Each structure stands twice: as C-alpha cells, then as structure tokens.
Amino acid sequence: MDASTALEQERAEVHALLQSGLFDKAPRLGTFFRYICERHLEGRGDEIKEYCIAVEALGRPADFDPKKDSIVRVEAHRLRRRLEEYYSREGLGHSVSIVIPNGQYRPQFILHPPAPAAVPAPTAAVPEPPAKAVENSPLSASVAPTPSRRRWPVVALATIAAAACVWLAIRAYHRPAPVVHRPAASRQPINEVWKGPATEPAEGVFRMLTGYHGPPFTDHQGHTWNADAYFTGGHSLDLPHRFIEGQPDPHLLKTERTGQFQYDIPLHPGAYELRLGFAETEFGQSNPGGGGESTRIFQVSMNGKVLLSAMDPLAEAGAPNRFHVRVFKDVSPAADGKLHLRFDPLTGPAFLNSMELLPSPPGRIHPVRIVAQSKPVIDSDGRLWAADEYYIGGSLVFRRNQVLNPVAEDLYQGERYGNFAYHIPLAPGKYRLTLHFAETWFGMPESHEPALNSRIFNVFANGTALLRDFQIVKDAGGPNRGIAKVFENLEPNAQGILRLEFVPVRNYAEVNAIEVVEMN
C-alpha cells in the first residue's frame, strides 16, 4: 500500500472516531485526541509533547509545569482505555486501529490486513473399501491399504482452514469481544436535552459557550462564559484544534452545538443586545469537509420569527476558521418570559459557538472600544476599553513612550501594525468611528529614521476610503503626540460588519485604539 493511501485511511479512521459519539460525554478527551491526531497527520508528530498538549489542547497557562500538574498523563491514560474499549466493540473489524503506547503521546495507526476468505469446512472422508489382496502373494496379509491419491485436496483444504483458525485466534487474543457493527444512524449522537432548571431568569450579562460542559471560563477580557444551557436538540461537538481568526481569546472557541436545536432562555423583562458567534471549522478550503460557500446553510428564528433566513457562515465571515458575530438590538423575551432561539438546517447542520445577552437601552447597542494591547484599559473617564480583538492580520507591540496627550495617554501604549483589518460586529444603524494614532517609532532614536515621510498608509471602512496617504506625525505635529480621527454616519455591511482596513503605502500601517459608538 502506498503512503498516500495509508494516510487517507488514517485520516478516515480519525474522522470515524470523532463522529462515533465516543467523546460526546468527554469533550476534553476529544480535544486531546483531535490535537495529537492532527499533528500526526500534518507530519508534525515531533511537536506532540506534554507541554504543547497541556497549553494548546487543554488550555493550561503558558507557565504550565508538568512536575506540578499531571493533567496530560491522566488524560492520556483515560484516552488509552477508551480507545481499547472502542476497538474491542464498535471498532472491531476496522481496517485501521489507533493506539497510544504507554509512556508516549504520539498516536500509532495500525493497518490490519483483510481477513482471509471464508473456507468451507471439509466434509468427513468416506472410508474407501479395503484394497483387495493380491491373490497368491505372500505379502497380501501384511501390507496395509494405501490412501487414494484423490484425497490430497481435502487434506490441503483442511490445512488452510487450520491456518485461518490460527490467524483468527491471534486477532481474537487482542480483541476478545465478538464483532459488533453499529448501524450508521446509531453512530450519530442523539439529541441532547438540558437537565438544569429553566425557570429562574438569567441574571444581568449572560455569556455562554455552546457545546461546552466544563466549569465557567474567564477570558483575558475578564468576561465569564458559562457552560451550555437551556438547549433542546442537537449535540455538543469539539472543534478541531486550529487557529481561529478574530476570536477575542485564543482559548475561547473549543466547542459548538450542531444539528437541529433550540434554546429557551428565561430572562427578566427589558431590552437586550444579542450576539451570536460562529466559526466555520468543518467546511471550506483546508477543512475536513471541503467545499465552499453554500455547503452549509441554515436558518435562525427568534420567538417564532425568522432572524437569519439563509445563514451561510462561510460566506458571512469571508473565510473558514474565522470568528464571525451577528449583533441584534431590542431583543426581548416572549410572552412566557423566555427568549426562544431556533436553529434549523437547510443544506447542512446548523451550529452555534457562542451567545451573549447584554441588557441595553432600547434602540441601542453597547459601544465598542478596543485598545491595541493584550489587556483591557480603563481611561481617565472610567470607560473600559477591551483588549485587542476582531483583528485580521498584523502584529501587536507594546511601547513605553510617553505620549503628549495626558487625557488619553493609556490608549497609546500599544499598537497593531502591518497590513491588517478589524471586522467589528454591529447591529444595523449609524455609528461614529474614532481612530486613535500616535507615532512612537519613526523619529525616535532607536528607529534611526526621520518621522516625516517614514510611515504613510490608507484606511478604508467597508471599501470606502477614510484616510489616504495618511501621516500621523504630519497631522499630530510630531512624534509621540496622540491624535484622534473622527468619522460619522458609518453603517455596517450586509453581514453586520464594519470592516476597517489599514493598508500600507510606505512602511507599515498602524493604529492604537478604536471606538465605535451608535449615533442618536
């Protein structure tokens, strides 16, 4: 068998296990399994180390110490036992089996040759009549009758059958249970129903990671995300371990709820801002399902009315593996005190990765304030600016230069630079955009370059130019001086996104902070 064929068989076996329901009630094991298998299939098996598994797959912090935390060894032991049980029952008879040797984390794929063709059991030999004694021969009384030459095929068949029995016995030694084949339909996870209380209204701000069943998760913005709740139908699914563009925290999106499902969330009366998060990790270029736009389309309804009639998450986001948020304002519970959200498949299973419900003034959504820094910032007016999020491309850098703008000095300590964009989700409406800039590199002693004419770039909003051939030092009056550029009456596009693009003309584009506020 050539290497490409073997690789395809290995890939198919990984997919089969992930779809079998084996990890439905153990999502962390599923994440562990997916991580090590993807690294192996990508030819990066040497990267499968205890530290990498802990930090990249199991969400442990960067200072993870395997001497103090045995999480990887414990989960590896559980995974070995689960795989052994699987291949002794449902997986028995598969042409490929996956094992994780003791003391290792790299998976091994064992290819099994096809079983030999069934051999009919040999029939009982019919005794031949004794040979007639040679008349008048002195040896006739002492010579035994010789077997007929016609019996040798029967002996050969019996030998083959015995060899087959030995081969099957050897396999049975490793797989003692009888062959059990589950029907294809039964391999699909059953519809899940939340068993928790569904009458007490969710308090205040409510954030939820759909398909997630662990303890509450606090991201680096300081937001707490609850486990999946209030659902009926569909099933939980671990996401493949890969980089998802634009998500607010690299450890946030690990699961989804998929299929046909509904949420019935009890709420206090009032207006809410609803934020639904999607990331297409199944279909699209380089993803397991392949395909492209229109491969997966589904419908989202709220309180019996269609909210998204033909949701194509790949087309909406513009790329696979990119976080895309749809924002809706003036959301209220129905007459029974619950918000009913229904997800119905059209050309493919519906899915959802995250949900946020934020109490808000009628007719408005919360302002979006972002600083190009790794941690949130509170400005001199007491307003909270979120750590860098919704970005596509570019690099983040933190500078300690003293910026000559004491009112908003904290906003200029970090910058995103390069050729990059921000995809900011908004509800329909008109917005005021404020962009904060400060030149803290060119014109400084460490740069060895003059400030003027060193950095020139353009800024676009949904394709319309906001700034052309923009030079920060020219408008601000020199380096280390903050300047704010304000633009009004901007609207999100049809996908609910204000797409800000920062395009270099000379050297890199940059920005320090972004504010988007709905206009009256």
* pTM greater than the 0.75 cutoff: no
pLDDT tens-digit readout, 415-444: 999 999 999 999 999 999 999 999 998 877
Q: Output DSSP code: residue 270.
A: S
Question: CA end-to-end span of the chain, whole Å?
Answer: 68
Q: Are residues 306 and 217 in the same domain?
A: yes
Q: Is residue 167 part of a domain?
A: no
> How many domains is the chain built from?
3
Single out the residue in 359, 388, 407 at which a domain terminates: 359
Banded pLDDT at 162 (limits 50, 70, 90): low
Q: Per the domain annotation, does 19 fall within a domain?
A: yes
157 in a domain, yes or no? no
User: Which residue is associated with the tokens 């199944």?
Assistant: 282
Nearest by Cα to 473 from 421, 438, 500: 438
Are 390 and 461 within one domain? yes
Residue 128 scores a pLDDT above 70: no
Angle between helices 3-19 and 27-41 (to 10 degrees): 170
Verify that 303 and 391 share a domain, yes or no: no
Pair (293, 408) in one structural domain: no
* Contact by Cβ (8 Å): 392, 246: yes
Residues 307 and 399 grouped into a single domain: no
Q: Is residue 473 situated within a structural domain?
A: yes
Share of the chain above pLDDT 90, in %: 54
Distance CA 333, CA 321 (A): 32
In 29-73, the DSSP E strands lie at none
| 280 touches 287 (CB < 8 A) | yes
Rounded-to-integer distance, Cα 419 and Cα 478, Å: 23
Contact partners, residue 351, CB within 8 Å, separation at least 6: 237, 256, 257, 258, 259, 278, 296, 298, 313, 343
pLDDT at 67: 84
Co-location of 106 and 219 in the same domain: no
- pLDDT classification of 286: cutoffs 50, 70, 90: confident
Mean pLDDT for the stretch of residues 496-513: 97
Q: Is residue 130 part of a domain?
A: no
Q: pLDDT category, 446, cuts 50, 70, 90?
A: low
Report d(CA 15, CA 30) in Å as an integer. Answer: 11
Which residues on adjacent β-strands are paired with residue 302? 305, 341
> CATH number, domain at 275?
2.60.120.430
Query: How many of the other CB atoms lie within 10 Å of CB of 273?
Result: 20
Query: Can you give the residue range of the structural domain that contains 278?
Result: 206-359
Where does residue 472 rank: exposed (0-12), middle (13-18), buried (19+ CB within 10 A)?
A: buried
Rounded CA-CA distance 81/78 in Å is 5
pLDDT reading at 151 higher than 50: no
pLDDT tens digits, residue range 339-396? 999 999 999 899 999 999 999 999 999 999 999 999 999 988 889 999 999 999 999 9
- Residue where a domain stops, chosen among 359, 382, 407: 359
User: Which residue shows structure tokens 């925290």?
Assistant: 249
Domain shared by 375 and 500, yes or no: yes
**172 forms bridges with which residues in the sheet?**
none
Residues 401 and 311 in one domain: no
Proportion of the chain above pLDDT 70, given as a percent: 83
Phi, psi of 508 (to 5 degrees): -85, 150
Q: Do 338 and 449 belong to one domain? A: no
3 state DSSP class of 299: strand
For residue 225, list its beta bridge partners. Answer: 217
Q: List CB contacts of 158: < 8 A, sequence separation 6 or more.
A: 122
**Same domain, yes or no: 372 and 272:** no
Query: Average pLDDT over the chain, rounded to whole?
Result: 84
Length of the chain: 520
At residue 130, the pLDDT reads 42
Conformation bin of residue 37: beta by default, left when phi > 0, alpha when psi is -120 to 50: alpha
In a domain, 128, yes or no: no
Q: What per-residue confidence (pLDDT) applies to 93?
A: 85
Residue 124 confidence (pLDDT) above 80? no
Residue 240: is its pLDDT beyond 90?
no
DSSP 3-state assignment of 460?
Answer: strand
Pairing of strands 231-238, 255-266: antiparallel
Report the pLDDT averaged over residues 331-340: 96
pLDDT at 114: 66
